[in-house]
Amino acid sequence: MDFDSLFRAQIETLKAEGNYRTFAELERKRGEFPRAANHKDGEVKDITVWCSNDYLGMGQHPDVVQAMVDCVQACGTGAGGTRNISGTNHNHLLLESELADLHGKAAALLFTSGYVSNWAALSTLGSRIPNVVILSDAGNHASMIEGVRHSRADKVIWKHNDWRDLDRKLAAVGDRPKVVAFESVYSMDGDISPIKEIVQVAKAHGALTYIDEVHAVGMYGPRGGGVSEREGLADQIDLIEGTLGKAYGVVGGYITGSAPLCDFIRSFASGFIFTTALPPAVAAAATASIRHLKTSQIERQRQREQVAKLRARLDRAGIPHMANDSHIIPVMIGDPVKCRMISDILMRDWGIYVQPINYPTVAKGTERLRITPSPFHSDADIDHLATALASLWQQCALSHAVA
């Protein structure tokens, strides 16, 4: 069989549908976020990044950078092994302690990414709890879906953010062990789940509660513990999962919960057992970032101000964007080819980088630009972006929002 021909044919189909993904080759510059250098066709151009998940610019914070540099000088680069075989470093334990404290839990467990922590934790719960049923929100991230699928446990999908539908489906499951898995902030629409009602329903049916706070940790709550902290509900949730690669500006994932729960995942999750541990310097930098955001409100407050300013500016320009209560601004296009074209023109002519979001990340017909203002985007940056979008909206014959 000519495998390369098969591969090329499927790639060509993606391109014809407008869903082929190209990567911007960026070079981040310390101290200049959200500015970056874009390398393309042998040329280098300075651009402004509007779609980074480094939501608060903590990947550039002097304390975080210095913590990583100091740890590299002290410990070297890699961890040297899996956590079980020589790879557990003192910095890993300091970070796990910091994370447990962040969420008010007895224990925490580090993973190499947020994807892996979801995949490993859910697959372990589903495969090791006898006769369990996992009830998963219809909008859950691919990492959660893969974890449930890999577990081979029975699953039930409940309507997105619909706690009444969850209640009905929990009742239908009966007396079997149950895990309710959902997110706090959903990354593409930016909507926030009704955590209180979901937890109340889950507890009424004796279910274990599992929340993904990946897009919320560092961003919400008085210490950055996420939406569950902001709402005073963290103590009522059994397992809180998060990432170090977004608001904390580093890389890695984690879970927090009771000591037996975390030890259970540690002991049985293949995604934890059989992978090399995070470099100690990454753990040290993440610890510095978490400690800073536990006490500093400056970054969160400034970020909220810039989100509000951009939304107001888009409204004045008639640019349709999805309403939500989070920091994520989805600007709706509804066409994969136009979405890609607008992104390309923004980069080429305006020095603005916003990645097009197409299928399968979002459903066909809901293609969008996902914009994430940071504390470091200036008012002039906001005006420049809004002006560029208004110009392209007219050029590409897209519908304006109705005032």
Give the residue numbers annotated as catalytic, written as ranges.
246
Copy the structure tokens of residue 40: 């393309």
Reading the block at residue 156, the tokens are 């039930």
CA distances from 391 to 138, 331, 342, 368 (A): 36, 14, 10, 17
Q: Any idea what the Cα angle at residue 251 is, between residues 255 and 30, rounded to 5°?
A: 150
Number of residues that this document lists for the chain:
403
User: Dmax of the chain from CA atoms?
Assistant: 63
**Distance from C-alpha of 156 to C-alpha of 133, rounded to nearest angstrom:** 7
How many angstroms separate the Cα of 76 from the Cα of each of 64, 70, 113, 332, 373?
17, 10, 21, 46, 35
What is the residue whose two structure tokens read 């000088």? 73
What's the DSSP call for residue 370?
E
Radius of gyration of the chain (CA): 22
Neighbours of 22 (CB within 10 A): 11
Contact 340, 15 (CB under 8 A): no
User: How far, CA to CA in Å, does 284 sit from each of 90, 215, 395?
Assistant: 10, 21, 48
CA distance linking residue 36 with residue 24, whole number of Å: 11
